[in-house]
Amino acid sequence: MQLRIPGPTPIPEAVRQASAGQMINHRGPEFAELITEVTQGIKQFFQTSHDLLLLTASGTGALEAAIVNTLSPGDRVLAVSIGEFGERFAEIARAYGADVVPLTSEPGRAADPEAIARTLKMNGPFKAVLLTHNETSTGVTNDVAAISQVVHQTDALFLVDGISSISSIEMKADEWGCDVVLAGSQKGWMAPPGISMVSMGPRAWEAYAEARMPRFYWDLGRARKSFERRQTPATPAVSVLYALRASLRLLLAEGMENVFERHRRCAEKVRSGVKQLGLELLADEAHASNTVTAVKVPSDVDCSRLLKLLQADGIVLASGQGALAGKIFRIGHLGMIDDADTEVILAGLARALPLAKK
Ligand SMILES: *Cc1c(COP(=O)(O)O)cnc(C)c1O
């Protein structure tokens, strides 16, 4: 079976076996070792020397944590959104009473640093800027380094959703001045869903001290205090941590640069193969994602029939979300993927396409 949706992603056999481990006392010494190793491994992929905290939640929990730990109701927030996940980040901020100013782009386009700079100048001052590093709904990767430069011409905090990028695409949280960065276990980390990750830099902790949005389960101050004792405030998803320990060992043994290069190469193969089949990409190619490719459905093809045919052939792809439902399909190529997998996906697509004509 080729599970090629942008999360959950397939997990290697060693990771599956690790996740079947016996339960341990989450206040005991084995757990302390487990959370220490996992946290250190994740920090390497975030390229951060600041605090990295684990939450028992899917990625959305981490998005919510980023908001409630740094903001107060009424704070003006610039929500840069290039798709569904950018919208979700904005919606959470709105739900907690932030004064959200949206800045959106056409589906398939990356966020424009100049447009962000203009909005920051004209509609500010802003307390925070929300950005999606890699927009999974459109297959577009934003230029975090360039956007960071315009954000840091102001005092705004920079909160970055790296859920479908980190561990597959380079993220330099500290160098790029990202105050809060998030990720989730079921994407490129080759682990099951259930753990999300949040890094908090010094400016984020300053904001935390003043932030007045309600928080309890997502209170990162409590998580930081527990982590001093190598624990978590509530019972963690121990099995997912076992899995993450095993998958991080695999990823780090391969080497971060090699992991990124493998994702670049597989993404390139998928994009060129898709184009050879006469299909069009949704993403502006200069910003095409190395973890997910969104493909336009030709007008004479029935998208749901196409996905069903592929599924019957053992290849599971994702449909479009929101307004893009029926208009695109998405190929996830993150985590456990190699050149041979890309060939299987493309061959399946070549077989299914002519049969999915309206
Ligand atoms: C998957 C994803 C999320 C949401 O994650 P859940 O784990 O489904 O809560 C948020 N942002 C991005 C960019 C994602 O890819």
DSSP sequence for 78-101 = EEEESSHHHHHHHHHHHHTT-EEE
Residue 124 pLDDT: 86
Q: Which residues of the chain have pLDDT under 70?
A: none
Q: Which residues of 258-277 are buried (b: 16+ CB within 10 A; e: fewer)?
A: ebbebbebbbebbbebbeee
157: Cβ–Cβ under 8 A, 6 or more apart, which residues? 70, 127, 128, 129, 179, 180, 203, 204, 207
60 Cβ closer than 6 Å to some ligand 1 atom: yes
- Among 83, 79, 8, 3, CA closest to 320: 83
Of 88, 187, 218, 331, the residue with max ligand 1 atoms within 8 A of its CB, to mutate for a pocket test, comes to: 187
Does any ligand 1 atom lie closer than 6 A to the CB of residue 58? yes
Take atom 3 of ligand 1 and give the residue whose Cα is closest.
59
- Any residues with CB less than 8 A from the CB of 106 and at least 6 apart, and which? none
User: Ligand 1 test: best mutation among 64, 131, 134, 164, most atoms within 8 Å of CB?
Assistant: 164
Task: Collect contacts of 232-236 with beta carbons under 8 A, ≥24 apart.
Answer: 232/26, 232/35, 232/54, 232/56, 234/56, 235/26, 235/56, 236/26, 236/35, 236/54, 236/56, 236/195
Rounding to the nearest 10 degrees, give the CA dihedral for residues 217, 134, 328, 336.
Answer: -90
Pocket-testing residue among 88, 91, 136, ligand 1, by greatest number of atoms within 8 A of Cβ: 136
How far apart are the C-alpha atoms of 198 and 184, rounded to whole Å? 9
Tell me if 68 CB under 6 Å of ligand 1: no
Strand partners of residue 358: none
Contacts of 237 (CB under 8 A, 6+ apart): 56, 194, 195
Tens-place pLDDT, residues 27-40: 999 999 999 999 99
Distance (Å, whole) CA 215 – CA 283: 37
C-alpha 44 to ligand 1 mean position (Å): 21
Spatial separation of the C-alpha atoms in residues 35 and 86, rounded to whole Å = 30
186 CA to centre of ligand 1 in angstroms: 9
Q: Determine whether the shortest distance from the Cβ of 184 to ligand 1 is under 6 A.
A: yes
Supply the angle between the helices 339-352 and 256-276 in degrees, to the nearest 10: 20
What local confidence, expressed as pLDDT, does residue 344 receive?
Answer: 98
Q: Tell me which residue of 264, 98, 76, 43 sits closest to 154, measured CA to CA.
A: 76
Taking the CA of residue 186 as reference, the ligand 1 atom at the shortest distance is 7
Distance 161 CA to ligand 1 centre (A): 8
What domains, with CATH codes, occur in the chain?
13-252 (3.40.640.10), 255-355 (3.90.1150.10)
pLDDT for the residue 16: 98
* 251 alpha carbon – ligand 1 mean position (Å): 21
Question: How much distance in Å is there from the Cα of 354 to the middle of ligand 1?
Answer: 32
**H-type helices in the chain, by residue range?**
13-19, 29-46, 59-68, 84-95, 113-123, 144-151, 202-210, 220-228, 238-254, 256-276, 303-312, 339-352
Out of 161, 186, 291, give the residue to mutate to test ligand 1, the one with the largest number of ligand atoms within 8 Å of its CB.
Answer: 161
Helix (H, G, I), strand (E, B) or coil at 317: coil
